[in-house]
Structure 1
Amino acid sequence: MDFDYTWLLAGLPLAFVLGWLASRFDLRQLKMENRQAPKAYFRGLNFLLNEQQDKAIDAFIEAVQNDPDTQELHFALGNLFRRRGEYQRAVRVHEHLLGRGDLSREDRDRAQHALAQDFLRAGLLDRAEAALQKLEGTRYETEARLALLAIYERSREWAQAATVAQKLDESDQASYATRRAHHLCEQAAERTAAGDLDAAGELLRQAVELAPQAPRPAIDTANLQLRNGEAAAAFDTLANLCDIAPLALPLFAAALQQAAIASQRTGEAIALLQRRYAASPSIDVLEAIIAMGGSPKVPDQDPPADTPPEPRDGYIAHLTHHPSLVAASRWLAKEQFNREQFHPQVQRALDQATRPLMRYRCAACGFEAHQYFWHCPGCQAWDSYPPRRVEEL
């Protein structure tokens, strides 16, 4: 049976026409979709520039639906959700990106970083920690380590914070020696509270070796020595610190006084504190001198005429050159008056008025506290508190 080629010749033009029509339809559809996606994108951008975030989000969602393969639209949408505080929606967008198999390594790292930021802003520190750890070895490594360091410090996980700070220190981008010393001091404080004084002493020794110019390791070491009954060693530690960090003297003047009395070296301590007080007067240094029976050496001070000097006359000497409500209140506390029955009421009023003046204030955020903090509880900054009270700033 012979095959009839007539039908084949007749069908070729028809197939060509049908193919041409199908291609035209696909091209037209593709062009329409491509026009719709950029139009929605630019409309969303316009809303964003006009600070109309609700309309911008709607436009970006439309653009993503028209072209789900556009990574940049996903990132823009996720960032918008995060800025608006809609962290769950931001997490869904970035997790959707990470779930795609065709995502490049660079975009995958970027999405992982954005997801970690979502968790951080939402306060989900455990999930943020896990997300940040996956950025090790990426171009976001340093930023991730800084975020991890902040998480560990906020949650007081000092061993993990020390490990991350050491990695940052080894990267040679900045020095973290003082910060690492703080971490060791915090661990030493925990060991001291647990009664393991030997471990605390070793941690403090490492802190001093790591940051010999920082005052905290030496102060904590002296306090531990006092606790162990090593008053002479504590005095030597603090006397040496006076030369290394003289501006921090108000923070450890009381400890120096305690060590001097316990080791019977008050004369040496008074002479040392008098020299430092003359160079930089401070109410804390003044009170340490007075507590040991001494008096501050104030330039151009006239000696008392009639009565023999008393240690608390040091407050008057201080007031001569440095007006201080705190010093005035301390002096009045033991002064005798003709109408002594009203003295307690007056003294209570003065104590109430001077209490805010005895606070320490963070130079970074302004947080005030009666206790001195090496790590500000308000802004989490280190060494942001000046060693002087609010009245003396």
Structure 2
Amino acid sequence: MEFDFTWILLGLPIAFALGWIASRLDLRQMRLANRQAPRAYFKGLNYLLNEQQDQAIDAFIEAVQNDPDTSELHFALGNLFRRRGEYDRAVRVHEHLLSRADLSNADRQRAQHGLALDYLKAGLLDRAEEALRKLEGTSYEGQARMARMAIYERSREWPEAAAVALLLEKTGEVDFSVRMAHYQCEQAREWVQKGDPTAAIELLQATLQSHPHAARPRILLGQLQLNQGQSRAAFDTLALLFERQDNAAPLAAASLVKAALGCGMGTDAQRLLEAHYQKLPCIDVLNAITEIHQTGTATHTTADSEALDRYLGHLQKQPSLMAASRWLTGARQGQPALPEPVQKALEHATKPLARYRCAACGFEAKEHFWHCPGCQAWDSYPPKRVEEI
């Protein structure tokens, strides 16, 4: 039986036609998909610009489904989920990106950084720390270290925070010497709470050797020495703040007076306080001068009269309701007392003015904070009362 080549000749054009039709269908589908992906992308961008985040997320999800290999859409989707507080969905997006073998090194680092931010925003500090450690040696190293340092501060892991601060300082971009002094002060406070003030004093003395110009360890050391009955050592420690006209000296004025009275250095303390007050008038220093002068004056009448003159002189330099209240209270000694409603009104008016206010977030407190409990900023509290700022 002979093979008929006619069928082959007829079949070739048919096969060619079918292949051409199939290719055209594939090309049409590809063009349709390419049109749909940009359309969904631009639709999501438009929603995002109009702050319609729900619609934007739906549009980006559609775009990702049409083109699952586009990493930029995944990054945009992950950021949107994080901004909305849907941290579990943001984590899944970034974990999906990290699981892809075809992801470039730069995008892998970016996805790792996004995953760390997801954990950080969600409050999962342990997972965030682990994710941030994986960014060592990458272009996100500096940001990751800053985030780790913030984590250690929140969890009060001061040695770990100091170690990261030292790494950041070695880069030469930022000076963290004052921050590290704060960490050591926090450790000293913990030693005191544990009932070991001796270890706290030794730590603060070492801190002053490495950071001699830091005010906080000197103030804290003086207060600890005073509590331990070491009045002369406390006086020598605190006196240096006033000798060098440190801006934070008013915070130590009351402690300096106690130390001076305990070791018989009242005259020296008064000289230091008055010299500081002449250059930097402050109500706390003025109160300390009045207290130590009244202690050393033979007659109370003379001391009270001189105190009134001081408060009146302070009012001439700068208006102060706290100074006016003290002058008014002292001026009426030997006279009928102020009516009770007037006294209450003065106390009510002066209490808010005697607080300290954070310059970063405005958080107010009765005591001075070195680390703002509101915004977590360091050294954001001026050493002056609200009225004097």
Fold conserved between structures, TM > 0.5: yes
Task: Give aligned pairs, total.
Answer: 380
Letter in 2 for 1:107: D
Report percent identity of matched pairs: 59
Q: Distance in 2 between matches of 1:19 and 1:30?
A: 16
Following superposition, the deviation at residue 14 of structure 1 comes to 5.1
Following superposition, the deviation at residue 338 of structure 1 comes to 4.3
Q: Distance in 1 between matches of 2:245 and 2:160?
A: 29
1:184 aligns with 2:184: yes
Evaluate the alpha carbon distance shift between residue 325 and residue 49 of structure 1 in structure 2; reply closer, same or farther with a 3 A threshold: closer
Q: Distance in 2 between matches of 1:64 and 1:368?
A: 48
Q: Distance in 2 between matches of 1:168 and 1:206?
A: 22
Letter in 2 for 1:224: L
The alignment partner of 2:43 has SS state of: helix
Following superposition, the deviation at residue 85 of structure 1 comes to 2.9
Q: Match of 2:82?
A: 82
Q: Distance in 2 between matches of 1:111 and 1:248?
A: 44
TM-score computed with the length of structure 2 as normaliser: 0.89
Letter in 1 for 2:350: T
Q: Match of 1:251?
A: 251
Q: Distance in 1 between matches of 2:349 and 2:46?
A: 56
CA contact (8 A) 1:215 1:245 kept: no
Q: Distance in 2 between matches of 1:119 and 1:39?
A: 32
The alignment partner of 2:44 has SS state of: helix
CA contact (8 A) 2:152 2:161 kept: yes
Following superposition, the deviation at residue 337 of structure 1 comes to 5.5
CA contact (8 A) 1:214 1:245 kept: no
Instruction: Give CA-to-partner distance per residue, 1:119-152, whole Å, 9 cap, x none.
Output: 2233333332222222122111111111121222
CA contact (8 A) 1:185 1:217 kept: yes
Q: Distance in 2 between matches of 1:4 and 1:223?
A: 112
Letter in 2 for 1:228: Q
TM-score computed with the length of structure 1 as normaliser: 0.88
Instruction: Give CA-to-partner distance per residue, 1:240-273, whole Å, 9 cap, x none.
Output: 1223352212110111111111111000110111
Q: Match of 1:367?
A: 363
Q: Distance in 1 between matches of 2:164 and 2:365?
A: 29
1:336 aligns with 2:333: yes
Following superposition, the deviation at residue 281 of structure 1 comes to 1.3
Q: Distance in 2 between matches of 1:84 and 1:367?
A: 27
The alignment partner of 1:74 has SS state of: helix
Q: Distance in 1 between matches of 2:3 and 2:316?
A: 126
Q: Match of 2:298?
A: none
Q: Match of 2:232?
A: 232
User: Which has the larger displacement, 127-136 or 65-74?
Assistant: 127-136
Evaluate the alpha carbon distance shift between residue 109 and residue 7 of structure 1 in structure 2; reply closer, same or farther with a 3 A threshold: farther
User: Which has the larger displacement, 155-164 or 266-275?
Assistant: 155-164
Equivalent residue runs for 1:276-355 within 5 Å: 276-293=276-293, 308=302, 310=304, 311-313=306-308, 314-334=310-330, 335-336=332-333, 338-340=335-337, 343-355=339-351
Letter in 2 for 1:349: A
CA contact (8 A) 1:208 1:218 kept: yes
CA contact (8 A) 1:119 1:127 kept: yes
Q: Match of 2:135?
A: 135
CA contact (8 A) 1:250 1:284 kept: yes
Aligned alpha-carbon RMSD (Å): 2.4
Following superposition, the deviation at residue 191 of structure 1 comes to 0.6
User: Which has the larger displacement, 151-160 or 15-24?
Assistant: 15-24
